[in-house]
Amino acid sequence: MKGNAVYKRSYNGCLAICGSLPLGAEMPSENELSQSLAVSRTTIRTVMTGLEAAGILRRESGARRLSRRPAPDDAFPDTQTLSTSATVERRFLEWILDGHIGPGHLLTATELARQFGTSTTIIREHLPHFQHFGLIERRPNSAWLFKGVTPAFANEIYEVREMFELRAARSFIDLPDDSGSWRRMRTIEAEHRSLLASIDTDYGLFPDLDERLHRTVHETADNRFIKDFYDIISMLFHYNAQWDAEDEKQRTFTALTEHLAYIEALLRRDLKAIDRACRQHLKTARSNLLRSIELRMKVPSAPDASPA
Amino acid sequence: MKGNAVYKRSYNGCLAICGSLPLGAEMPSENELSQSLAVSRTTIRTVMTGLEAAGILRRESGARRLSRRPAPDDAFPDTQTLSTSATVERRFLEWILDGHIGPGHLLTATELARQFGTSTTIIREHLPHFQHFGLIERRPNSAWLFKGVTPAFANEIYEVREMFELRAARSFIDLPDDSGSWRRMRTIEAEHRSLLASIDTDYGLFPDLDERLHRTVHETADNRFIKDFYDIISMLFHYNAQWDAEDEKQRTFTALTEHLAYIEALLRRDLKAIDRACRQHLKTARSNLLRSIELRMKVPSAPDASPA
DNA sequence: AGTTTGTCTTTTGTATATAAAACGCAAGGG
DNA sequence: CCCTTGCGTTTTATATACAAAAGACAAACT
């Protein structure tokens, strides 16, 4: 009734630790392991038992020692290390953003549960979350209305994003000199320059860097609602990146350049320049998003079919 | 396994319709009733059966006729007409905002379910909602952290509220002359003047008027995220009003005056004046909220006890 | 043709069941 | 003493069960 994804993830984690240990060495204590993997000691114990059964660890007067080197296929496949809930969230968003259904479509919990092979419990847990994202709307005692990934959606998100990011960026200059944010920002700047140098091969690393920059800016606003909102943007970017691979390198180059102007302005505490660079970057980002949404609306990938 | 609050609410609704009908008159069709009460025909049918069993309606060749005048105690009590979910939401917020627990307290779903006499299903449905409100924070696979109704909470809410309300107010002046918003705003203005005249007796009507004004402004931003956010503010106001009755009349008077300046500026499409009035009003509202939160933090009503 | 009602099917709201994971206490060892 | 492990208890994640409500279709009635 409850998956054991936590177990499998922890098992793989311990396996990695084993791999970095010389043969015959003693494993860290249950407490240390549970802390470093951020799970309960109970789970660690179960994992230890599993590793012993697999012949990887051996008990010796209380302590556990590495008795054989773990092979790559001792690990559980990555697909099994995510909870049902996380899997459904991902698959649902992919399905939505892939344009399988159009605006105005009605979603019923039962049907979604069938479609994704889970219980309605999980589905009912996620629907409010997607409502928070502005993707669906509830009809009381009835189905949910899909509002669509439309230009309106993008514009509304960006209207808010601009307000929040500008506000956060402005608060950046008020940070005390000894705030950790300055150091982090300088690191991010260096990473930008290094990525720019190796852009031909490494442009795939950009999304992560992008997120770190914007989160660093948003952090300084010190406002839970502003930080929360960035989760929506982050989600949108993550999935949007998947279906809009066109011109990715060129767009990455532009973004890196704009980011650098933005970062320099932040580091110089130059309010005017911050405003200018921030607006410019968000304008580009918004039109990229709009372009890919409009493109997608013209070429619906599959009008309305189950992904299975 | 499923409450019948919808039935009871509809029953009371039909009872009210019966009450407005002369004896022996024919009831509206099932379809009409289901439309006017916004429930399914299935529910209406069940209600009709109930009303017949209670001797209020009598069947006569297909049609239903009023056979006796409904008495006040034919109706179900109001407490039974709310779904379990709605009841729990209300009780939970009251409990939180009443200061029964302090910031840093850990909430477990099981305990809350016990406390409110429901299943964990309902609790688990609501916790993410309160997270959206910024009141709690999730620890994965574990309890929820209550962040508290603190001055920080109020300030963060107001920082966003100011951005959103100013943005919406500015977009008001771009509305076309024939937009319904102008008419609605003039009505609201009239209501303000009338309430101001009878303030000594009617100040209790203010919260509703307040909400209508701000929603009308927010509507014009035409942004789902801005509208959504107003739900948080609305919740906070609703419950805050309950525990801060002090000086209510005086505060209402101030708010009415500030609102009128704001409304006049909006109707005149005077951007400068809109900005000024809006900021002034939000400043007052924010400090009222801060004052009552600080007051409450000094006098904790009951450190940590179950309300039952 | 368009309503109205009777009947049957599907979906939603809520409680409960159960394996996995977290939590907490006590005893043992450096 | 503080850290470790062993073990019993509680809580969480997920599936399932089932009454209430919604939805769908056809026969009856204007």
Is B5-79's fold the same as B151-298's? no
Please state, in angstroms and as integers, the Cα–Cα distance from residue A301 to each residue in A135, A147, A199, B149, following that order: 19, 18, 31, 47
The reported pLDDT for the residue numbered B179 is: 94
Give the residue-averaged pLDDT of A193-217: 96
pLDDT tens, position by position, B50-95: 999 999 999 988 899 999 999 999 999 999 999 999 999 999 999 9
- The answer to whether B106 and B146 are in contact (CB under 8 A) is yes
User: How far is B62 from chain A, CA to nearest CA, in Å?
Assistant: 29
* Contact state of B163 with A159 under an 8 Å Cβ cutoff: no
Give the residue-averaged pLDDT of A213-237: 96
Q: Work out the mean pLDDT of chain A and round it to a whole number.
A: 94
In chain B, domain spans:
5-79, 83-146, 151-298
Query: How distant is C1' of D27 from CA of A142, in Å?
Result: 28
Strand C nucleotides, any atom under 7 Å to a protein CB: 3-8, 10-24
The reported pLDDT for the residue numbered A306 is: 37
Q: Taking CA A260 as the corner, what is the angle to CA A256 and CA A261, rounded to the nearest 5 degrees?
A: 120
A151-298, CATH topology level: Four Helix Bundle (Hemerythrin (Met), subunit A) (1.20.120)
Residues of chain B above pLDDT 90, percent: 88
- The answer to whether B266 and B185 are in contact (CB under 8 A) is yes
Give the residue-averaged pLDDT of B201-230: 96
Give the residue-averaged pLDDT of B167-190: 96
Give the residue-averaged pLDDT of B25-38: 97
pLDDT tens, position by position, B127-147: 999 999 999 999 999 999 999
Among all protein residues, pick the one whose CA is nearest to the C1' atom of C22.
A40
DSSP summary character for residue B289:
H
User: How far is B228 from chain A, CA to nearest CA, in Å?
Assistant: 8
Model confidence at A65, pLDDT cuts 50, 70, 90, reads: very high
The reported pLDDT for the residue numbered A299 is: 66
The reported pLDDT for the residue numbered A303 is: 44
Evaluate if the CB of B115 falls below 7 Å from strand C: no
CA of B45: nearest nucleotide by C1' is: C5
Query: How distant is C1' of C28 from CA of A61, in Å?
Result: 13
Asked: is A83-146 a CATH 1.10.10.10 domain? The reply is yes
The reported pLDDT for the residue numbered B274 is: 97
Q: Could you tell me which residues of chain B have a Cβ less than 8 Å from any Cβ in chain A?
A: 6, 39-40, 121, 124-125, 128-129, 132, 134, 141, 147, 156-157, 159-160, 163-164, 167, 221-226, 228-229
The reported pLDDT for the residue numbered A241 is: 80
Helices (H), B76-137: 84-97, 109-116, 120-132
Give the residue-averaged pLDDT of A183-204: 96
For residue A117, how far is the Cα from the chain centroid? Answer: 23
The reported pLDDT for the residue numbered A242 is: 79
Query: How distant is C1' of C11 from CA of A111, in Å?
Result: 9
State the Cα torsion B210-B214-B215-B221 to the nearest 10°: 180
Tokens coding B42 = 């299935």
Domain spanning A5-79, CATH class: mainly alpha
